Chain A
Amino acid sequence: MSKDTDLLEVDDLWVKFPTRTETFEAVRGISFRLGRERLGIVGESGSGKSMTGRAILRLIRKPGIVTANRISLHGQDLMKLTEKQMRNVRGKQISMVMQDPKFSLNPVMTIGDQIVEAYRLHARATRSEAHAKALEMLEAVSIRDPERVFRAYPHEMSGGMGQRIMIAMMLIPDPEILIADEPTSALDVSVQTQVLSIMDRLVQERGMGLIFISHDLNLVSAFCDRVLIMYAGRIVETCRADRLHEAKHPYTRGLLNSLPRLEEPRERLDVLKRDPAWREAASVVDDQ
């Protein structure tokens, strides 16, 4: 992929949390690029995948420390921006969808008001324009009765609807990059498929870059174009998503083998044996 199509370039990103006795390193020097594609980041809990997503948006709170040579968005270094400039990036250029709609929507505000608020933060629009735009977005995420949903409160929505509303809110300012942190983990399989296909359609239609953070290897392999596999804060392997099942690193192999499969029944599942060397090995540089 040539340089000018790169939306985002991350170079040597570290996230550290100082504690009383030592400094905990959640992300340890990772580098990757994102083009107009679906990039998956997989790993177990604690592997640093969510922290990577948050660090890009500079959402790590103190006492956490984020350092990087560069996080560049179209050549603009996000690390050098002031907090005020950063606020223009968040939402407008890079958006984020979190795992659980229950904790990400304001419970005492109607859904319509929340979407309108998000829109008017980024665009100069009258209330009626914002209203029309909100309805249009709700329709874009396949919500059947947008007028009713507009007036409803979050608790009146199911999990799948809530997640679609979150996606609608994130997409209103027309970001170039969407970071989705386990967007479907809280959803049932059948609803999951719906939400994914909505995201897929929007990514393809708008030519967005998508960072899809998940622990579900099968899902990432089917949904994304490229995958980064993280272990203990480092990238241990990168590969094409459809080739994930041919992955070579023992950690990736271990994860794949520990999954029960319907089509190949086994007496016992393989248990992942962790090699301390994985932790020490340098991060793989993503050069595709």
Chain B
Amino acid sequence: MTGLSAKHLNVWFGSGRDRVLAVDDVSFSVASGASFGLVGESGSGKSTILRALTGLAPNWSGEMMVGNEVLQGQRSSAFYKQVQMVFQDPYASLHPRHTVDQMLSETLYLHGVGEIDTHVEKLLDDVGLGNAFRFRYPHQLSGGQRQRVAIARALAPEPEILLLDEPTSALDVSVQAEILNLLTDLRSEHSLTYVMVSHDLAVVGHMCEEIAVMQNGKIVEIMPVADMRSMQAKHDYTQHLLKSSQGYERREFNG
């Protein structure tokens, strides 16, 4: 089984004067079978870490490891059998002119899986969609159903690690509950490792055992979920985030 880790990871965009350091000397490790959360404001670099792990951010330095393998340059196809990603917006991450069947079959074919037909059926079953959805196009699906298809596609090569980039932020709360339950079930059925990015502390608190709080590209604090629940944050910024997440505090203005 494999876990993953990053040591002194830097990721930057642009060059020269316009160079922006999006991830600044970040180190963390996730044990196999664990669920790790990254929270922070937009622009804090949390999604960039996921993108760097999957090889979608070309400029980085430091060390990233998946299992015992040190990642460098182009990822091998074996890597993508281990690590898969689910993106934020199910409206943008599915091909609008491919049916669910085409999307899943192609993924299975590319990963050299045999008996595509039975596998597609099984994947759809796994994510609770069933065969009736097999020949639908994305526009014939609701947001929650689309995210299920995106999860099925990520599960196709039977990965051990799922990188989840705000998987429910585009969905209604009722649908969010369904998807989060699905992810919990899949994790126990397939003994998956999760790295989850979200701006919603409650969602990360529900899904993850350990949480890293990010600000301006740096991890300011890594804490177990129990500390977060009991509001025992050491860093000021984490305190501030926890406080803001509790909703709006009423004040009286006299003007």
Which residues on A sit within 8 Å (CB–CB) of B205?
260, 262, 265
Decide if B184 touches A259 in the complex (CB within 8 Å).
no
Q: A192-B244, A204-B255, A268-B181 are in contact. Are A159 and B202 (CB under 8 A)?
A: no
Decide if A260 touches B203 in the complex (CB within 8 Å).
yes
Q: Determine which residue in B143, B175, B225, B242 has the highest number of CB atoms from chain A within 10 A of its CB, and name it.
A: B175
Q: A200-B253, A205-B253 are in contact. Are A190 and B240 (CB under 8 A)?
A: yes
Q: A189-B241, A268-B184 are in contact. Are A201 and B253 (CB under 8 A)?
A: yes
Q: With both chains docked as a complex, state the minimum distance between the C-beta of A76 and any C-beta of chain B, in angstroms.
A: 27
Q: With both chains docked as a complex, state the minimum distance between the C-beta of B145 and any C-beta of chain A, in angstroms.
A: 14
Q: A189-B244, A262-B205, A262-B228 are in contact. Are A222 and B249 (CB under 8 A)?
A: yes
Which residues on B sit within 8 Å (CB–CB) of A258?
173-174, 176-177
Q: With both chains docked as a complex, state the minimum distance between the C-beta of B242 and any C-beta of chain A, in angstroms.
A: 8
Complex Cα–Cα for A196 and B248 (A): 8
A:231-280 near B, CB below 8 Å? 254-255, 258-263, 265-272
Closest to B176 in A: A258
In the complex, whether B42 has a CB less than 8 A from a CB of chain A is yes
Interface string of B219-255 (1 = CB under 8 A from A): 0000001001100000000001110110111111111
Which one of A191, A215, A267 contacts B173 once the chains associate, using CB atoms below 8 Å? A215
In the complex, whether A106 has a CB less than 8 A from a CB of chain B is no
Which one of B178, B203, B247 contacts A221 once the chains associate, using CB atoms below 8 Å? B247
Which one of B175, B180, B228 contacts A260 once the chains associate, using CB atoms below 8 Å? B180
Which one of B172, B199, B247, B250 contacts A44 once the chains associate, using CB atoms below 8 Å? B172
Which one of A192, A259, A271 contacts B202 once the chains associate, using CB atoms below 8 Å? A259
Chain A interface residue count, CB cutoff 8 Å, equals 39
Which residues on A sit within 8 Å (CB–CB) of B175?
44
Decide if B244 touches A215 in the complex (CB within 8 Å).
no
In the complex, whether A287 has a CB less than 8 A from a CB of chain B is no
Decide if A271 touches B181 in the complex (CB within 8 Å).
yes
Decide if B250 touches A222 in the complex (CB within 8 Å).
yes
Which residues on B sit within 8 Å (CB–CB) of A200?
248, 250-251, 253
Q: With both chains docked as a complex, state the minimum distance between the C-beta of A140 and any C-beta of chain B, in angstroms.
A: 11
Which one of A45, A189, A266 contacts B206 once the chains associate, using CB atoms below 8 Å? A266
B:121-138 near A, CB below 8 Å? none
Q: A189-B199, A260-B180, A265-B229 are in contact. Are A201 and B255 (CB under 8 A)?
A: yes
Complex Cα–Cα for A221 and B247 (A): 9
Complex Cα–Cα for A240 and B92 (A): 38
Decide if B177 touches A270 in the complex (CB within 8 Å).
yes
A:26-46 near B, CB below 8 Å? 44-45
Decide if B202 touches A44 in the complex (CB within 8 Å).
no
Which residues on A sit within 8 Å (CB–CB) of B181?
268-269, 271
Which residues on B sit within 8 Å (CB–CB) of A254?
174
A:210-238 near B, CB below 8 Å? 215, 217-219, 221-223
In the complex, whether B106 has a CB less than 8 A from a CB of chain A is no
Q: With both chains docked as a complex, state the minimum distance between the C-beta of A210 and any C-beta of chain B, in angstroms.
A: 13
Q: A45-B172, A262-B229, A271-B174 are in contact. Are A219 and B247 (CB under 8 A)?
A: yes
Decide if A219 touches B248 in the complex (CB within 8 Å).
yes
Q: Determine which residue in A159, A254, A259, A269 has the highest number of CB atoms from chain B within 10 A of its CB, and name it.
A: A269
> What are 11 residue pairs bridging A and B, where the CB atoms are less than 8 Å apart in the complex?
A44-B173, A188-B42, A189-B241, A193-B249, A201-B253, A215-B172, A218-B247, A223-B247, A258-B174, A260-B177, A267-B184
Residues of chain B whose beta carbon lies under 8 Å from any beta carbon of chain A: 41-42, 143, 172-178, 180-181, 184, 199, 201-203, 205-206, 225, 228-229, 240-242, 244-245, 247-255
Other than A260-B177, A271-B174, give 8 A-B pairs with Cβ distance below 8 A. Answer: A159-B42, A193-B248, A218-B247, A222-B248, A223-B248, A260-B203, A262-B242, A272-B174
